Amino acid sequence: MAKKLFFGLILCFIAFSIVFYVQKKPELVSHQTSDSSAMISSSETRDNETTSTSEKPIYPGRADDWELLVVNEKHKIKEEPTDLKELPNGMQIDSRIFDSYEALNKAAKKAGFDLTIISAYRSVAEQESIVARDTQSYLDQGFSEEESKKRAMEYLTVPGLSEHHTGLAMDVLEEDWYNDGNMLEEEFGETKAGKWLDENVCHYGFVIRYQKGKEKITGINYEPWHIRYVGKENAEYMKDHDLVLEEYVEQIKK
């Protein structure tokens, strides 16, 4: 009796093995023929397939769109904007983003925040004259030419490498915060207005350009006041996926 049961079990096992082999075989063969490196195990092949057939995300923008222009410590501005529009405070921005800023300003007001623009478009020539002026003040104090330049540059961006040259960036604060004697300080990000900006600028086409934790990528410390126009869909995508401009453009290019 025990013998019969034993043989029965063996037969079952053999039958099961044959069925399993027949089912499995076509899959292995198809993987091997579709991949030139036939020695890859089936699980590895499956992983590769997932990566190669997974669709590339559809990005709203293209890397060479004007809204996605990257100017940073590695990318000098090539062409300065020519079509600028004056803001009520006399500063200028690229005319193409004027309406978007107006909409943002209006929405902020509705939410209870009066925005004030500290800085907008700055030409390369203007930046050069600021560097020259500050260097001169150190020269006047008796420092050597090299030392004077070094000291001046501690607080200034190299002309040509500032995003403010694009006309697409602005430094924005809340009026009460500013009137209380505060300037461009990190703590602004913790205020109600700073938090509102962080949450909402994307709906008007802007991003908080220099994010905390992304300093190595942007080359700039966290600046909760520096907003940059990238277009509404790009801005919302970047916000949703926690990407700074450098990362976003890099992903689109891939």
Residues 6+ apart with CB under 8 A from 21: none
Residues 6+ apart with CB under 8 A from 141: none
Q: Quick one: DSSP state of residue 38?
A: T
Min separation Cβ 184 and Zn ion, Å = 8
Closest to Zn ion by CB, 117 or 249:
117
Closest to Zn ion by CB, 171 or 233:
171
250 sits near Zn ion (criterion: CB under 5 A): no
The piece of 26-34, 149-157, 169-177, 210-218 that touches Zn ion (CB under 5 A) is: 169-177
| Per-residue mark of binding to Zn ion, 195-234 (x: CB under 5 A) | -------------------------------x--------
Out of 65, 114, 126, 171, name the contact with Zn ion by CB under 5 A: 171
Closest to Zn ion by CB, 9 or 125:
125
Per CB under 5 A, contacts with Zn ion among 113-132 are: none
**Number of shown-chain residues binding Zn ion (CB under 5 A):** 2
Among 179, 132, 238, which Cα is nearest to 140's? 132
Closest to Zn ion by CB, 112 or 219:
219
The dihedral through the CA atoms of 214, 220, 223, 229 has a sign that is: negative
Contact residues for Zn ion, defined by CB under 5 A: 171, 226
